[in-house]
Structure 1
Amino acid sequence: MSLQALLFDVDGTIADTEALGHRPAYNRAFRELGLSFRWGPKLYRKLLKQPGGRERLKYFFLKYHPPLGEHEEEAKAGIDAWVARVHELKSHYFHRYMRRGRVPLRPGVARLMREAREAGLHLAIVTNASRKTLEPVLKYSLGPEMMAEVEVIASGEEVKNKKPSPDIYLLAAQRLGLKPEECVALEDSEMGLEAASAAGVRAVVTVNSDTIEQDFTEASLVVSGLGEPGAPTRVLKGQLSGYGWVTIDALKLLCEAPKSADPESLVA
């Protein structure tokens, strides 16, 4: 199959929103509510195994039983309502951080999107995030000019099962009118890789500080980032012979290679 589309995950892939936006926003919300606990990087990496923000909050409250002080009875009376309240406040601060430009695009994202459109490829956003959570990232990190090139957005509230289920990737391919084999996913996490693989979409993983130790055995290519001319990426699995950054030609070879091929030979 020839490559027809790039499907971009958002959090951690397009921008380091988890480390620079979401985790600080959660902690700001906890502080605003008078709660004594904070989410550090090590704990947050564990919480990222949950498929979304509300799921992370609920899992944390039920598993770790943090001291809620004056909010204890409110949470016990309805954990889902309490989680929704905390998440709403967190979203307010996340939007503020995005608006202030604290979360730029990861290197290579704008370049690869531009090169994809110049090559006649389709672009899609495929994320577990809700459209409400996604909106500030699209508005302030990607911006209106780049968003005008994105044809499809598939978000978490549109499917019955979020990543690691394949549902959201299948939905994106369907909306583009393409087969999964004609797409390449750009992901940063084991959860996203599992979703793409289950949907039959080849995946390139661009790791970050929250995901670098996860299992990416099923990935066709694993890199430290997409890279730029003058700022090359580091290849952790696979090859980028002749280039120091991820190119459209390299992704085309990924899409065309037999799935049984040795991962080390997928990108020549």
Structure 2
Amino acid sequence: MLKGIIFDMDGVLINSEPFHFQVWKETLKARGIHIDYEVYKPCIGSTVGFLMELLHEHYQVDVQDTALIAEMKSMKKKMIEERGYPSLIPWVKEFLERLQEAGYVLAVASSSPLSYIRNVTEHWGIDRYFQKLVSGETVKHPKPAPDVFLKTAEILGLSPEECLVIEDSENGCKAAKAAGMACMAYYNPDSGKQDLSTAFALVEGFEEVDSAFVEKIYCHFHHLPAKVCETNRLLIREMEKGDIPRMMEICSQETSADACEGVAKPLKEELEDFEMYRRYMYELCDMGYWCILEKASGEIIGRAGVEPKLWNDNKTVVELGYMIDEKFRRRGFAYEACRAIVEEAKKRGAFYLYCRIKSANMPSLELARKLGFQKIDYHLEGDSEDMEVWRCACHGNH
């Protein structure tokens, strides 16, 4: 269960990497050293100590040159007085607000000195969101080692498996992976060309990232079923392997043959390699067929969802399908679940949704009409003559 979210600071909370490079550039210039950005870049996300090793390697600077560090701090103070602190990343305060309201424990784990972390968070009024501020200078090994993240989790009283990290640097993403924590990378173009491939997911901004999205990243990283959406009576979540017997039970019901619109093959065949299905549909496509649970009883009462399908001439469409246990039909569950899923599909960027319905299946035809689908003049090769195709234009319903 996700309980704690750990933020890097530089490049994630504030847009500071260009500022830090300029500080070092001016400091070294006074020493007659003209630092190349490619030399500096590997230290992004790591500590001053790591940079000193790079300076020693390329410019023969003594790694124990405390005078140089003092000069850098003096230059940094001067530039902050002249220019102010680096600006907040757009929408990050709203993002922190959403996460706090969702009940997560938040912390900062930065390679910067603790005093600077404290000054920055207080200056921008975001200190109130964080339960702990932790500096990479307080651990033995800097990022890309996992030490600072492991220490932060320990201080929060959480296990690494209960935490998610938000990073913008290659070093930080590697550190999160080494700590065994889920990692969401924020692509900051001002942080240099970082290799963020070790992160589990990548975002380019925080304006639309909410707690549900972060929770989904966490669940997928740990191969747990993520919640898709919910209604007053129903919870719709991703399937897990233990759900398959119940799904097979529902699918084998005598009346299920007409209730499986959109299912191109038997459920057992679709999910015989469940891990492949989970990775491809849930993690890569962000679609799939999901479990429908009645909240009152906690029982699985069916499945519904949207999947990408290849139709005539290899046309790719997104197809809606559903199936409800016969004991739970005629109670409005199908409409309630499918309506929620159509709205979720819109949020996930669907342009059109399609469904296939047998012409004699009056309940499903009526359901399609209520959902805003319209019958179109189209016949899918291989379908029986009595199979109709219906389409919903999502973009027209925003």
Superposition deviation, residue 212 in structure 1: 5.7
| C-alpha distance in structure 2 between counterparts of 1:153 and 1:105, whole Å | 17
Corresponding pairs, count: 230
Partner of residue 27, structure 1? 25
Compute the RMSD of aligned alpha carbons.
Answer: 2.5
Runs of 4+ in 1 over 4 A off after TM superposition: 265-268
Partner of residue 211, structure 2? 248
Cα 1:135–1:28 change in 2 (3 A) is farther
Cα 1:221–1:43 change in 2 (3 A) is same
Structure 1 unaligned spans of 5+: 66-74, 229-244
Cα 1:91–1:186 change in 2 (3 A) is same
Partner of residue 12, structure 2? 13
Cα 1:47–1:247 change in 2 (3 A) is same
Deviations 1:24-64 (A, max 9, x none): 11122234xx3233334343224437x31233134213323
Judging by fraction of residues, say which structure has more strand.
2
Partner of residue 85, structure 1? 67
Does residue 244 of structure 2 align to residue 264 of structure 1? Answer: no
Structure 2 unaligned spans of 5+: 224-278, 288-347, 349-398
| C-alpha distance in structure 1 between counterparts of 2:94 and 2:63, whole Å | 41
Q: Larger RCO: Structure 1 or Structure 2 (Cα < 8 Å, ≥ 6 residues apart)?
A: 1
Partner of residue 351, structure 2? none
| C-alpha distance in structure 2 between counterparts of 1:166 and 1:148, whole Å | 26
The question of whether the paired residues in 2 share the 8 Å contact of 1:13 and 1:188 is answered with yes
Does residue 186 of structure 2 align to residue 219 of structure 1? Answer: no
Does residue 109 of structure 2 align to residue 126 of structure 1? Answer: yes
1:9-88 to 2 correspondence within 5 Å? 9-19=8-18, 21-31=19-29, 34-48=30-44, 51-65=46-60, 79-82=62-65, 84-88=66-70
TM-score, normalised to structure 2, is 0.52
TM-score, normalised to structure 1, is 0.75
Deviations 1:72-95 (A, max 9, x none): xxx6xxx2442x211122122223
The question of whether the paired residues in 1 share the 8 Å contact of 2:114 and 2:135 is answered with yes
1:127-142 to 2 correspondence within 5 Å? 127-140=110-123, 142=124
Structure label with greater radius of gyration: 2
Deviations 1:142-173 (A, max 9, x none): 33xx2022111221122121211112111111
Identity of aligned residues (%): 26
The question of whether the paired residues in 1 share the 8 Å contact of 2:52 and 2:63 is answered with no
SS in 1 for 2:218: helix
The question of whether the paired residues in 1 share the 8 Å contact of 2:146 and 2:175 is answered with yes
